[in-house]
């Protein structure tokens, strides 16, 4: 499985661009995969419940670009290091994915990196409640894809999600994940939004 993923990503260069949207700011995330040929796992986090935005939500490690970052790849690696204690030198970055745009119009650059299966992670309690691994095979089994109700400051909608060991994977993170699986593994997964569709991010 991992060899197919890396083969499919060979045509995607590693973009080292700078932000182009000064008004809204930009962010970058890391899709970290363990180097396990037949059973690679992806690293996800659960944001701390005390945070002011997206509290308790599952997300990829990453965050907003800061003026000291040389480029958005540095942003993804710096934020990942801060959040889950994964040193940049322990990540083999192999590709960047098409830019996503959240429903609030923030541009998010996504990078794919490989890490050792023995690599340990520690959740920064200032930002996260947990860091965990999910086998990609779990997402490829579409019987695990369900619909649940999610409520936020300006919505209460039924939306697609996976539930893995109590963690609900949905929203922006789910769309990035599914686009990645469809691109690299021909997963053929379509997300169904029974109530409303405009919460899905746009893809540049």
**What is the pTM assigned to this prediction?**
0.92
What tens digit of pLDDT does each residue of 67-99 get? 999 999 999 999 999 999 999 999 999 999 999
For the residues 96-122, what does the mean pLDDT come to? Answer: 93
pLDDT tens-digit profile of 116-145? Answer: 999 999 999 999 999 999 999 999 999 999
Query: How much is the average pLDDT of 140-166?
Result: 92
Residues 96/105, Cβ–Cβ less than 8 Å: no
**In the block, which residue shows the tokens 């890490």?**
115
Q: Is the pLDDT of residue 204 over 50?
A: no
Residue (of 139, 144, 143) closest to 175 by Cα position = 139
DSSP state of 155: E
Continuous segment of H or E residues that includes residue 98: strand 92-101
Under the banding of pLDDT at 50, 70 and 90, the label for residue 199 is low
Q: Taking the CA atoms of 84, 68, 11 and 106 in sequence, report the sign of the dihedral they define.
A: positive
* pLDDT value at 34 more than 70: yes
166-185 in b/e burial notation, b at 16+ Cβ within 10 A?
A: ebbbbbbbbbbbbbbbebbb
Going along the chain from its start, the domains and CATH numbers come out as 2-18+25-196 (3.90.79.10)
């Amino acid at each position: 499985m991992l060899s197919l993923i890396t083969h499919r990503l060979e045509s995607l260069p590693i973009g080292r661009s700078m932000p182009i949207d000064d008004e809204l700011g930009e962010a970058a995330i890391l899709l970290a995969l363990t180097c396990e040929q037949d059973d690679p796992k992806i690293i996800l986090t659960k944001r701390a419940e005390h945070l002011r935005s997206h509290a308790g939500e599952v997300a990829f490690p990453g965050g907003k670009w800061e003026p000291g970052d040389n480029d958005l790849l540095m942003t993804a690696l710096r934020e990942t290091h801060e959040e889950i204690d994964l040193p940049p030198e322990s990540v083999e970055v192999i590709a960047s994915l098409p830019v996503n745009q959240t429903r609030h119009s923030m541009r998010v650059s996504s990078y794919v990196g490989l890490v050792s299966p023995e690599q340990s992670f520690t959740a920064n309690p200032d930002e996260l409640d947990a860091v965990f691994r999910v086998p990609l095979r779990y997402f490829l089994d579409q019987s695990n894809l369900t619909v649940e109700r999610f409520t936020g400051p300006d919505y209460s909608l039924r939306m697609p999600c996976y539930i893995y060991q109590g963690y609900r994977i949905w929203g922006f993170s789910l769309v990035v994940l599914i686009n990645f699986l469809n691109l690299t593994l021909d997963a053929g997964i379509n997300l169904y939004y029974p109530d409303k569709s405009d919460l899905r991010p746009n893809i540049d």
